[in-house]
């Protein structure tokens, strides 16, 4: 199966290359994202001062821009780091956390998409719908919309508009590059009970994109890893309501991910247009 061959190749490259993923990210989940990157076999750096971000990007294999705890200094860091990454051909993964919730976030997103060429946009359905242009209230940074609600059409349209890969994560995940679209049905509802699993997923995308030029397949692999890890983490819980223990098991499951697990448990559907 070509998917497994491609995924196996990316996992091997991560192990051999140990890509460095530069995050300008959400301070609420920075530690979780760093540990997620380490668990999969890569390295993370969290540098967000505009005076150093360009220098850090030079040494990085991917750049993650997370809008979770947004401020003006961070927006400037996004732009500076993003332009440098574009100059160097380094993939940029954008997580538009809470976009649509405030004017600051909406205007920041417009500027980012205008001034930077991003490789991947990953968000929940509310966030992605805002980018698409559908008005919908965003409650905090959480999605109040169902990922099944037009996910494949919206992901394809935004991917074509911005010439990038778009990933909508939720009960069903959709990944599109404008030509091909996958749906992924792995995961567990416990993933929504702890803060940061979306940010962690974005970091996993950064790791996979930092190891290959196949951005579409890298994004699909990263989302599959999080979904399967979530399932395994829940299965390993002694107390099925223990969210703290679930988080520990989740990191363990990411660290123990193998291609054999994907072959056994992956629920990926290729949707052709």
Binding-site members are 46, 122, 169, 196
Exposed/middle/buried for 90, CB within 10 Å: 0-12, 13-18, 19+?
buried
What's the rounded Cα separation, in Å, for the pair 5 and 239?
Answer: 37
For 156: left if phi > 0, alpha if psi spans -120 to 50, otherwise beta; the answer is: alpha
Binding-site residues for substrate sit at 46, 196
What's the rounded Cα separation, in Å, for the pair 157 and 177?
Answer: 9
Binding-site residues for ATP sit at 122, 169
Measure the CA dihedral 11/17/18/22, to 10°: -110
What's the rounded Cα separation, in Å, for the pair 68 and 32?
Answer: 14
What's the rounded Cα separation, in Å, for the pair 230 and 212?
Answer: 24
User: Within 13 Å of residue 7, how many CA atoms lie on the same side as its CB?
Assistant: 21
Q: Cα–chain-centroid distance for residue 51?
A: 26
Q: Cα–chain-centroid distance for residue 244?
A: 22
The residues that bridge with 62 in the sheet, in sequence order, are 21
Report the length, in residues, of the chain: 273
């Amino acid at each position: 199966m070509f998917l497994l061959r491609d995924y196996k190749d990316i996992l091997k490259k991560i192990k051999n290359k140990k890509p460095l993923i530069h995050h300008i990210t959400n301070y609420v989940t920075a530690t979780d994202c760093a540990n997620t990157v380490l668990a999969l076999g890569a390295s993370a750096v969290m540098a967000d001062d505009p005076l150093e971000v360009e220098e850090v990007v030079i040494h990085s294999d991917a750049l993650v821009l997370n809008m979770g705890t947004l401020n003006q200094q961070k927006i400037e860091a996004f732009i500076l780091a993003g332009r440098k990454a574009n100059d160097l051909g380094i993939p940029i993964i954008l997580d538009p956390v809470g976009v649509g919730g405030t004017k600051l976030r909406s205007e920041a997103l417009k500027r980012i998409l205008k001034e930077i060429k991003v490789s991947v946009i990953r968000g929940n359905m509310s966030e992605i719908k805002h980018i698409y242009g559908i008005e919908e209230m965003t409650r905090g940074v959480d999605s109040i919309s169902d990922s099944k609600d037009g996910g494949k059409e919206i992901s394809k349209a935004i991917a074509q508009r911005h010439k990038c890969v778009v990933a909508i994560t939720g009960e069903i995940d959709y990944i599109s590059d404008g030509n091909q679209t996958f749906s992924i049905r792995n995961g567990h509802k416990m993933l929504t009970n702890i803060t940061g699993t979306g940010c962690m997923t974005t970091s996993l995308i950064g790791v996979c994109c930092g190891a290959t030029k196949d951005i579409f397949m890298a994004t699909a692999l990263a989302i599959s890893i999080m979904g399967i890890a979530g399932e395994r983490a829940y299965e390993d819980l002694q107390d099925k309501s223990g969210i703290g223990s679930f988080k520990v098991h989740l990191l363990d499951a990411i660290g123990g991910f193998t291609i054999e697990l994907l072959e056994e448990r992956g629920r990926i559907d290729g949707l052709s247009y």
